[in-house]
Chain A
């Protein structure tokens, strides 16, 4: 079983809809949770970073972490065609500095 599970999609939504993405994990030592966005044939770029449980909002993006359920989410409001990309969740434990465990990535397509 993988440490981090993520539905690969594709997830297709109309422009303006809310995109809901999630990952589950099995390692209770994970404390740092990230979402990366990757456009086709490019390297990933950090979108959101959260430490431990709670919510974090940045513009149209909201990240949620529920450590009790080992479940993290990313919501994209008012989605745009430019949001079409693969979204990767990633996480690490405090004693495995810098070594991230990535999900498989979910491909999102926002149609005009």
Chain B
């Protein structure tokens, strides 16, 4: 158990819909990272938040947005969903900034029909 909690574990929805994925980092970790894992693109960094502020952005689509709340949990919002958005979405948190090691949650599997 990494200590990172993600909900929901599975989500099935239709094209054009909007979903919200939730993540609680390990106790004490200030950083939250979102990654997407798909068959064709592999594992891709989406976005990072540190103590409520956006710190780094990766290959995140404009239809996707995220935020980190004062209690440090984070939400990833995916809108106008397309079939190609079907993927595993992982959240990770990091301990001390210079350790580099990420602790991943179990992921949220999104299926867009």
Partners in one complex: no
